[in-house]
Amino acid sequence: MFGRIMPVSHPATAQTRADVLWWRTAVIYQIYIRSFADGDGDGIGDLAGIRSRLPYLRDLGADAIWITPFYPSPMADGGYDVADYRDIEPLFGTLADADAMIADAHGLGLRVIIDIVPNHSSDQHRWFQAALAAGPGSPERERYVFRPGRGEHGELAPTDWESAFGGPAWTRLPDGEWYLHLFAPEQPDFNWENPEVVTEFEDILRFWLDRGVDGFRIDVANSLKKDQSFPDVGSEAEAVLVPHEGPHHPFWDRDEVHEVYRGWRSVSDTFGADRTFVAEAWVDSPDRLARYTRADELHTAFNFAFVRAPWDAAELRATIDKCLAAAAVVGAPATWVLSNHDVTRHATRYARLDSTGGGVTDEARVGPNTPLDPALGLRRARAATLLMLALPGSAYVYQGEELGLPEVVDLPEDVLADPIWERSEHRVRGRDGCRVPIPWTTDGPSLGFGSGDPWLPQPASFAGLSVQAEQGVAGSTLELYRSALAHRRALTVAQTVDWLPSPEGSLAFRRLTADGSSVVCVVACTDAAVPLPAYDEVLVASTALEHGPDGETRLPGEAAVWLRLR
Ligand code: BGC
């Protein structure tokens, strides 16, 4: 469909399991378990579904998978409210299914990263239930953050802190005490000053490392430690939990949090250098983020500055430079991401006519009334993906982005399940639009996701974006990803980018490859075509190249290409 794109001669093979530093360059595919594949027909994705689709991920060219929480959970926040860290939610399967999934993945050369949620548990966790029963002043309450209220009768919350999902971050119990929940009331925060909490989580890590997992994605890694003087945040702008940098914020990115991760690193190191962590830490500055990846702490941390960057050549380049420089100071690889289960999908983010970047906050999200150009969004998303995959470091691909799926911005209100919808009193729709079940086939019940009605409805347009519709079709987004992932394996030699001169509104950089040739990535971030340097081969292009009046080859606007130069 897009003209001459060099065919990939063989399917990508995953990296060998002998490569202990695999996490420095890996492409990790994020599975949002509820929406990936439903093996038992109840409309909710599960471990059986994942197992059945592992060969697809191997053929796509992923090195590893990250699975969002699969633990027993009342699902107040899609599984990020964990009731038991050592078991599997019955909707998703059993521990035996998890073991079998890990074994299958390893058999296909895929590593497995699981999600660990240390900031809070579910209110149904046995520790929280024991804390409720034991009452004020008990050791059971010391595992969570309980405080007396302010005001004459303790009727005012202990601080002015607000929940990330809207409303106060404290809930009062009938016995008068208040407990802290930076997220939903069903997600009470652990007290990380208590050594019992520290020991418990190190033991949970060992439980899963013993079962063979290759790593952990750490949920809200930057919020575990709270200022023990419990000050007010102060201004309203600060009280809304837009992540701020430490060390002065009462709970975001405090310096003390790093003690926790030095302990975790010593646990993972006893299992070998191939076990890894990736921090989810929404901190504003790449320098503060790099502190999480110092040599004795975590291996990697998501670069959300890249997610937040608008589609603008100068801003993207500045962000890339800052992220690479900060990571280099601590010797860590950079970790790139364009989409995940919390942000507006990038095909829709870049379809905004104002082309702003993404984030989890209300203003950054795309809603039903945002003016959009979906075709432009997809065109830019494909280019952005080639940009991301050409960068040194590791990269995360969120399920469905390889199909070019857009955010579903018009889900009916009565199906919205994200706690943000209720907590914001129906002002903010939340994150369900990026969590709609994956279309595998062009027809049939739930487009091949499973045999029953999916837990969120799929729009009719998903049929044409299904795996079946795109597989083997030259120029489809799926084939673009497969081709890019196969070629990327040759790029991972030099960990630097050499910027090349390019016209305003575009980017060009070179990576050296194992055979001594270079690959040049050119990205056009405006509608202006960009003349290309002399090259030997087009490896992969997000759209067909064009020829100028004098015969020169040009990259059309809003597109990207990888060229091999000998
Ligand atoms: C997860 C969210 C979740 C929140 C609370 C986030 O960082 O990615 O999906 O709602 O943590 O656990």
- β-pairing, 146-147 with 215-218? unpaired
Residues of the chain with pLDDT under 70: 1-18, 235-246, 361-363, 492-494
Residue 57, phi-psi category: left (phi > 0), alpha (psi -120 to 50), beta (remainder): alpha
Best of 66, 114, 125, 219 to mutate for ligand 1, by most ligand atoms within 8 A of CB?
A: 219
- Between the alpha carbon of residue 91 and those of residues 40, 70, 96, 179, 350, the distances in Å are 9, 9, 14, 29, 35
DSSP secondary structure letters along 364-419 = GS--TTS-B-HHHHHHHHHHHHHHHHHSSSEEEEETTGGGTPPP-TT--GGG---H
What is the chain's Cα-based Rg?
23
DSSP secondary structure letters along 158-220 = SS--B-TTSSBSEEE-TTS-EEE-SS-TTSPBB-TTSHHHHHHHHHHHHHHHHTT--EEEETT
280 CA from centroid of ligand 1 (Å): 9
Task: Centre a 10 Å sphere on the Cβ of residue 63 and count the other Cβ atoms it contains.
Answer: 25
Predicted pLDDT of residue 357 = 73
Given a contact cutoff of 8 angstroms between Cβ atoms, the answer to whether 543 and 424 are in contact is: no
Rounded-to-integer distance, Cα 166 and Cα 239, Å: 11
Rounded-to-integer distance, Cα 309 and Cα 293, Å: 22
Which atom of ligand 1 is found nearest the CA of 419? 10
The sheet with strand 546-547 has its strands ordered as 530-531, 553-555, 546-547
The residue whose C-alpha atom lies closest to atom 1 belonging to ligand 1 is 219
Predicted pLDDT of residue 358 = 74
**C-alpha torsion angle, residues 509, 513, 515, 516 (rounded to 10):** 40
Residue type, 97: D
Predicted pLDDT of residue 495 = 75
Given a contact cutoff of 8 angstroms between Cβ atoms, the answer to whether 391 and 317 are in contact is: no
Predicted pLDDT of residue 471 = 98
Active site members: 219, 280
Predicted pLDDT of residue 468 = 98
DSSP secondary structure letters along 68-137 = ---S----TTTT-S-S-TTS--TTT--HHHHHHHHHHHHHTT-EEEEEE--SB--TTSHHHHHHHHH-TT
Predicted pLDDT of residue 211 = 98
Best of 71, 80, 344 to mutate for ligand 1, by most ligand atoms within 8 A of CB?
A: 80
Unique residue bearing structure tokens 């739930």: 446
Which atom of ligand 1 is found nearest the CA of 165? 10
Predicted pLDDT of residue 184 = 97
Supply the angle between the helices 477-488 and 47-60 in degrees, to the nearest 10.
70
Of the chain, the end-to-end C-alpha distance in Å amounts to 28
390 CA from centroid of ligand 1 (Å): 28
Helices (H), 410-526: 419-423, 467-470, 477-488
Q: Which CATH number fits domain 497-565: 2.170.270.10, 2.60.40.1180, 1.20.1530.20, 2.40.30.10?
A: 2.60.40.1180
The residue whose C-alpha atom lies closest to atom 3 belonging to ligand 1 is 80
Q: Is 10 exposed, middle or buried (0-12, 13-18, 19+ CB in 10 A)?
A: exposed
Q: Bridge partners of 370?
A: none
* CATH annotation of 17-122+195-485: 3.20.20.80
364 CA from centroid of ligand 1 (Å): 16
- Identify which of 562, 474, 456, 440 has the alpha carbon closest to the alpha carbon of residue 513: 562
Phi, psi of 358 (to 5 degrees): -110, 170
- Identify which of 229, 81, 243, 252 has the alpha carbon closest to the alpha carbon of residue 147: 229
Predicted pLDDT of residue 405 = 98
Predicted pLDDT of residue 508 = 98
Q: Is 457 exposed, middle or buried (0-12, 13-18, 19+ CB in 10 A)?
A: middle
Predicted pLDDT of residue 246 = 64
- β-pairing, 537-541 with 215-218? unpaired
Given a contact cutoff of 8 angstroms between Cβ atoms, the answer to whether 28 and 22 are in contact is: no
* CATH annotation of 126-180: 3.90.400.10
Residue 46 tokens read as: 């599960």
Phi, psi of 484 (to 5 degrees): -65, -40
316 CA from centroid of ligand 1 (Å): 26
> What residues does each domain of the chain span?
17-122+195-485, 126-180, 497-565
The sheet with strand 518-524 has its strands ordered as 498-499, 506-512, 518-524, 559-565, 537-541
Rounded-to-integer distance, Cα 107 and Cα 22, Å: 16
Instruction: Identify the sign of the CA torsion 452, 455, 457, 458.
Output: negative
Which atom of ligand 1 is found nearest the CA of 342? 9
Which atom of ligand 1 is found nearest the CA of 81? 12
The Cα angle at residue 382 between residues 380 and 386, in degrees rounded to 5 = 110
Residue type, 355: S
Best of 342, 344, 420 to mutate for ligand 1, by most ligand atoms within 8 A of CB?
A: 342
Ligand 1 site, CB within 6 A: 77, 80, 117, 183, 219-220, 280, 341-342
Rounded-to-integer distance, Cα 562 and Cα 537, Å: 9
Given a contact cutoff of 8 angstroms between Cβ atoms, the answer to whether 337 and 357 are in contact is: no
pLDDT per residue as tens digits for the range 212-244: 999 999 999 999 999 999 999 886 555 444 445
262 CA from centroid of ligand 1 (Å): 23
Predicted pLDDT of residue 7 = 32
- Identify which of 4, 6, 53 has the alpha carbon closest to the alpha carbon of residue 449: 53
Predicted pLDDT of residue 1 = 26
Predicted pLDDT of residue 515 = 80
Instruction: Identify the sign of the CA torsion 39, 45, 50, 53.
Output: positive
Predicted pLDDT of residue 441 = 98
Rounded-to-integer distance, Cα 542 and Cα 520, Å: 14
Residue 476 tokens read as: 């489809």
